[in-house]
Amino acid sequence: MISMIIRPREAADLGEVEALVARCFPPERQRRTAALLRGASDPLPGLAFVAAETDVTGRIGRIVGAVACHPVVWEGAGGSRRTLALLGPLVSHPERRGEGIGLALMARTIAALDRLRADSMLIGDAPYYGRFGYGAEATAGWRLPGPVEPERLLLRARDPEAWAGPARVVPARLRPVRPRMAPPDPGLRAA
């Protein structure tokens, strides 16, 4: 019997994760708005996970799911700038769909975001992500570097009102502060 674990993504996983993402999205994915927002940023520390198969002996095998959060910058009309976590891409292996891999990766990511007290956004299907508290109510006034369907621009925040209104969301050009270096109630910040 093949089972599965969720574990933090490691540097050595990168090639396998990229191959899985390439298998799950069409080639033009790199021109999509979410990809433009991620830019060349690294995932936020502690916010990238993989699902890996395990056999009966507990031996860990191939990667069958992945998710990561990258930093983006939200610029409000009043000139305020705040870092927000952009969740995605979330993928599960085409042969293992509908087995709970996507939801397990999401649950792990949400727990990590909550531990960091980090608000997050994504571009995706509200029926899937709504169960984790993502909604489009606060994002109507946001402008992104590419097109997005308003009902797919989703935010999960402790205080959604604080993110509402006209704003630009742009790629983070600076490295994020690692959580252990951050002050007691950091949320996420650009360095």
Residue from 7, 29, 81, 97 in contact with ligand COA (CB under 6 A): 97
Which run of H or of E encompasses 3?
A: strand 3-8
Stretch that binds ligand COA, among 76-84, 121-129, 137-145, 169-177 (CB under 6 A): 121-129
**What is the closest distance, in whole angstroms, from the C-beta atom of residue 180 to ligand COA in the complex?**
30
Q: Is 91 in the site for ligand COA (CB under 6 A)?
A: yes
Length of the chain in terms of residues written: 191
Nearer to ligand COA, 65 or 177 (CB): 65
Which amino acid is present at 105? L
Cβ pair 96, 61 in contact under 8 A: no
Residue from 39, 46, 124, 160 in contact with ligand COA (CB under 6 A): 124
Q: Is 127 in the site for ligand COA (CB under 6 A)?
A: yes
**CB atoms inside a 10 Å sphere around CB 50:** 25
In the DSSP assignment, the letter for residue 99 is: S
Residues 35-54 that bind ligand COA (CB under 6 A): none
Which has the closest alpha carbon to 87: 32, 24, 29, 134? 134
Cβ pair 165, 48 in contact under 8 A: no
**What is the closest distance, in whole angstroms, from the C-beta atom of residue 73 to ligand COA in the complex?**
21
Number of residues that bind ligand COA (CB under 6 A): 18
Cβ pair 42, 10 in contact under 8 A: no
Q: How far apart are CA 189 and CA 191, in angstroms?
A: 6
**What is the closest distance, in whole angstroms, from the C-beta atom of residue 185 to ligand COA in the complex?**
30
Nearer to ligand COA, 24 or 162 (CB): 24
List residues binding ligand COA (CB under 6 A): 24-25, 88-92, 97-103, 124-125, 127-128
